[in-house]
Structure 1
Amino acid sequence: MVTRSLLLDAMIYIYALSLLFYFSDFASANKKAKRMGTGLLLFVWVLQTAYLAFSLYTHSSELAFSRSDILYFFTWLLITMSLIINRFIRIELFVFFINVFGFALLALNVFGNPQMMPVSSNWDVNSELLFIHITMAVGSYAAFTAAAIFSGMYIFLHRKLKVKQFSDTVMRLPSLEKMEQYSYRSVIIGGPLLLLALCLGIVWISLQGDGNLFYDPKVVNSVFVLAAYGFYLFQRLSMRISGNRLALWNIAAFIIVMLNFVVSNFFSGFHSWIWS
């Protein structure tokens, strides 16, 4: 059973990683990222196919499958459909969002299964779900921090170059173009990570059966964080805004991240453990 739990956990992590590569390809038309995302998603499909084949074998003498088996089959169909669309139609954004839904459904199925065994005897299933949720959330905060620092460096260098102050510090900094690229790539990593972390948080709340937690300040503010960085990407990709204005917006979005991490924890009903 531990082997089964390790397989399912690995499936979730690989699935999440494939979505990061897919989003990177959508945001910057990166063919290498698309190949990596497709390869990882295909690997998840192979794992799910093997798992479903095993379930079919164990249920060969029964007339009906369990709810869990049906949900696994549904997520398998979503992945299959996304791979077909990616191969023949190539709508990257559709593939990304349909797999975000599939990822959330897979997580709900795995961690909502009463027969699911934790990898460690000291953990329960909810602990594993929270561990993955926290890992992705902290990873997104780290990426947003890097993006804000690069944006701050961009603003500093832009102002120094504007007044033609060429100090040793200025000369050692990367170019404005590179710092904007580094900031943008950091957001590309942090945004999907936070989206997946939020999906897992919603799964956890659903398993708890307390609908009031959906209105928790931490959850609500996380949606605002996603909206802020979503608008950042919209400005850069659709409105073609760049430079100082985009860097300022990135820093403003990071302030919302800090509010989400610090202030909302004093009012959150189930994130107060962070400060304990």
Structure 2
Amino acid sequence: MGYANWTYDAILYLYALSLLFYFSDFMSASRRAKRIGTGLLIFVWLLQTGFLISRFIFYFELPELTSFVYWLAFSWLLVTLSLIISRFFKVEYMVFFVNVISFAVVALNLYASPAQDRDYALWQTTRELLFIHISLILCAYAALTIGALLSAMYLFLHHRLKSKRWTQSIRRYPSLDMIERYADRAVIIGVPLLAMSLAVAATMLIVGGQAMLLLDWKVLTSFASLLAYIVYIYQRAINNRPGQQLAKLYMFAFGMLILSVLANSVSSFH
């Protein structure tokens, strides 16, 4: 059983890492990131396949299919379809979003893990999901904070260069292109982590019969901040907005993120 738990944890964390590389390709059309993301996703598919086969063999004599195996098979099917889409149809955006849903299913499936003591299992599962949620969102906060600092630096340096106010300290700043490039990397890391964290949190509330808590101020502001970052990504990847406009939009999105953090004090359960 311990081996199975380690295998499932490996599936979960490798899946999250794969999504980070896919998002990097989503942002900057990086073939290297796509190859790494696809390689990790194939490894996740192999682990899921082996895990499913072992479960089917172990529970072969049971009269019904457990919900754990059912949802694991559903996630495996989504991964399989995403690999087929990536290989034959080249719809990269679809691959990313399908796998975000599949990742949420994998995390949610921890609730269906069988154990002899169901009360203890539920407590342990909730604790594990909470750990995943908190770990993901703290990493997202760190990455997006770095991105906000870089965006503020971009706005400051752009203003000084435009007004031709040169000083010795300004000469020590990196170029605007370099600042923009590193800010993009912060988004590539932070936004998918934020999305995965919120997906795990939302599924925890829904499965736990507390769907009304999705209307909590903390939850609403968190999803609003994610939406603001999605708008930033759309303007960056599709509309090719100038760097100054993107930096301002990033600062607005970060302001929404700060608002969601401050909403802890008015949240009914955080």
* Common topology (TM > 0.5): yes
Bucket of the pairwise TM-score, normalised by the shorter protein: over 0.9
1:98 aligns with 2:98: yes
Q: Which one is further off, 188-197 or 1-10?
A: 1-10
Could you list the per-position Cα deviations for residues 213-232 of structure 1 after superposition, in whole angstroms to 9, with x for gaps in the alignment?
A: 11111111111001111111
What are the ranges of 5 or more consecutive residues in structure 2 without an aligned counterpart?
none
Q: In the alignment, is the contact (CA less than 8 A) between 1:110 and 1:116 conserved in 2?
A: no
Deviation at 1:90, TM superposition (A): 1.5
Report what 1:136 is aligned to.
Answer: 136
For residue 183 of structure 1, what is the aligned residue in structure 2? 183
Q: What per-residue deviation string (whole Å, max 9, x for no partner) do you get for residues 87-135 of structure 1?
A: 1111111011111111111111123434399xxx9x7221111111011
Counterpart position of 2:237: 237
Hey, what does 1:145 align to over in structure 2? 145
Secondary structure of the 1:134 match is helix
- Which residue does the alignment assign to 2:268? 269
Identity %: 43
- Structure 1: distance between partners of 2:224 and 2:62: 48
Query: Contact 1:49/1:76 (CA < 8 Å) preserved in 2?
Result: yes
- Residue identity in the other structure for 2:24: S
| Letter paired with 1:10 | A
Which residue is equivalent to 2:72?
A: 72
Partner amino acid, structure 2, of 1:18:
S
Matched residue, 1:274:
none
**Alpha-carbon distance, 1:184 to partner:** 1.8
Aligned to 1:9: 9
C-alpha displacement at 1:211, in angstroms?
2.0
The superposition leaves residues 16-70 of structure 1 with CA deviations (integer Å, 9 ceiling, x where unpaired) of: 1101111110111001110111011111111111111101211333453212212
1:46 alignment counterpart: 46
**Which residue of 2 is the match for residue 163 of structure 1?**
163
Note if contact 2:110-2:125 (Cα within 8 Å) is conserved in structure 1. Answer: no
Q: Matches of 1:59 and 1:211 in 2, distance apart?
A: 32
- Specify the alignment match of 2:18 in structure 1: 18
Check conservation: 1:155, 1:244, Cα contact below 8 A. yes
In the alignment, the residues of structure 1 paired with residue 63 and residue 152 of structure 2 have an alpha-carbon distance, to the nearest angstrom, of 62
Structure 1 unaligned residues grouped into runs of 5+: 272-276
Report how many residues are paired: 266
The TM-score normalised by the length of structure 2 is 0.93
Q: Equivalent residue for 1:227? A: 227
CA distance in 1, matches of 2:158, 2:74: 51
Give 2:209's aligned amino acid.
G
Structure-2 residue corresponding to 1:172? 172
Q: 1:206 to 1:258 in 2, by over 3 A?
A: same
Q: Which SS does the other structure have where 1:124 is aligned?
A: helix
Matched with 1:207 is: 207
User: What is the rounded CA distance, in whole Å, between the counterparts of 2:266 and 2:2 in structure 1?
Assistant: 37
User: Residue type of the partner of 2:215?
Assistant: Y
Of 1-10 and 183-192, more deviation after overlay is shown by 1-10
Distance 1:78 1:194 in 2: 21
SS of 1:36 mapped into structure 2: helix
For each residue in 1:171-225, what CA deviation from the matched residue of structure 2 results, as whole angstroms up to 9, or x when unmatched?
1111011111111221121111111000100122123211221111111111100
Q: Are positions 1:217 and 2:217 aligned together?
A: yes
RMSD: 1.7
- The whole-number CA distance in structure 2 between the counterparts of 1:94 and 1:169 is 45
Are 1:229 and 1:250, in contact at CA under 8 Å, matched by a contact in 2?
yes
| Deviation at residue 149 of structure 1 after TM alignment | 0.5
Q: Residues of 2 paired with 1:79 and 1:59: CA distance?
A: 23
Looking at structure 2, the residues matched to 116 and 5 of structure 1 have their Cα atoms a distance apart, in angstroms, of 15
